[in-house]
Amino acid sequence: MKELLIRLAAGETLNADQARLAFEAIMTGQATAAQIGALLSMLQLRGPTVAELTGAARVMREKAVKVVVPKGLTVIDTCGTGGDQARTFNISTAAAIVAAAAGRPHGVVVAKHGNRSVSSSSGSSQVLEDLGVNLRAPGHVQTRCLDEAGLCFCFAPNHHPAMRHAAEVRHDLGFRTIFHLLGPLTNPAGAKRQLIGVFSPQLTELLAHTLRNLDAEHAMVVYGRIATGGGIDELSTMGPTRITELHHGKIHSFELDPTQFGLPLTNLKALHTDSPQESARLIWSLLHGDRGPARDIVCLNAAAALVVGGAANDIAHGLRMAAEAIDGGAASATLDMLIRISNTQTTPSST
């Protein structure tokens, strides 16, 4: 580790193998707190490279507690980086529910990776817990959730126990580190199709190239703009969204305007909530038919998830699928089923 820190202190970058060695030392408890703090600080000040993200993500993936995906199903994720400070309701969680409802008949399921709050009024775990989902469901129950509900929730602390070696240092540092970018790159179900929101437009291509190194099949990395300035780590209905898409190994960036799909522009206030409970109530209401800005932005993000999952041909098609899943009751039924199955106390099959 000392040699790698000397390289970083001299202004050099690490290749993927060197980054793997550094994060292997962290996640096996071999690195000291001082070394972890130095590594995270230097990477944050300069900004991690594709190679450094690739090497670190490979270590985290290897050490993750995996979720088994039933045969014949295509798994996707809607996990973002957080960190946009917009304090919206948990859009990606609601989009995951809607995408699961619309995608399950087509063999597309969602393994939603998430944690406590970073930038929204509540993290995905907090809002799902408030809705009644069991965050501690064992692996075989998560597999059943995928099979029957089309959706499971992968609470990050349950699946990345090796992260405990960096937890205290991260808390003491108090600023955003490379681990905020690694979360969406380390889905426990091994999702190769992803919708990832990021907190800066400069990150869309960085993560897309990293995903290509990690053998992703189809992904959209998005940064949604707010008309009054700033942005969110979601597709936006407050302005255009910068999207970097990876598909069949090719990467291209473009902007998507929500008004081209007939979605009216809204403002941040319409999407703001102050607590996990308020966020949960809003999500429950839109899943049960409430229309307005919350439904619009959830449908837009679910549509993109359905495209990367291969269930929808394009965003317009995905929007129709998302609306039908809500209006036909499939979305609320998916949440109900996730709650019921995740709280089922069963033992794994011996067959």
Give which of 178, 147, 142, 174 is closest to 163, Cα–Cα: 178
Tell me what pLDDT residue 346 has: 57
Q: How many domains are there within the chain?
A: 2
44 is in which domain, residue-wise? 2-63
Least confident of 145-159, 162-176, 335-349: 335-349
Tell me what pLDDT residue 270 has: 94
| 153 shares a domain with 54 | no
The two three-digit tokens of residue 136, written as one number: 């501690």
pLDDT tens, position by position, 22-71: 999 999 999 999 999 999 999 999 999 999 999 999 999 999 999 999 99
Sign of CA dihedral 192, 195, 196, 202: positive
Tell me the average pLDDT across 169-191: 94
CB 285 within 8 A of CB 273: no
Tell me what pLDDT residue 350 has: 43
**Residue 350, in any domain of the structure:** no
| 163 shares a domain with 23 | no
| 143 shares a domain with 27 | no
Q: What percentage of the chain has pLDDT greater than the value 70? A: 96
pLDDT tens, position by position, 85-127: 778 999 999 999 999 999 999 999 999 998 875 444 567 889 9
**Residue 30, in any domain of the structure:** yes
- Residue written as tokens 């999952």? 309
| 276 shares a domain with 190 | yes
Give which of 105, 67, 74, 110 is closest to 92, Cα–Cα: 110
Angstrom distance (rounded) from CA 306 to CA 191 = 13
| 262 shares a domain with 155 | yes
Tell me the average pLDDT across 73-79: 96
Tell me what pLDDT residue 87 has: 84
pLDDT tens, position by position, 293-332: 999 999 999 999 999 999 999 999 999 999 999 999 999 9
Supply the mean pLDDT for the chain.
Answer: 94
- Residue written as tokens 């469901």? 137
Alpha-carbon distance values, 301 to 234, 251, 311 (Å): 7, 20, 14
Tell me what pLDDT residue 348 has: 53
pLDDT tens, position by position, 204-232: 999 999 999 999 999 999 999 998 889 99
| 33 shares a domain with 181 | no
Tell me what pLDDT residue 228 has: 84
**Residue 33, in any domain of the structure:** yes
| 252 shares a domain with 118 | yes
Tell me what pLDDT residue 120 has: 46
**Residue 311, in any domain of the structure:** yes
| 234 shares a domain with 101 | yes
Confidence check: pLDDT of 72 > 90: yes
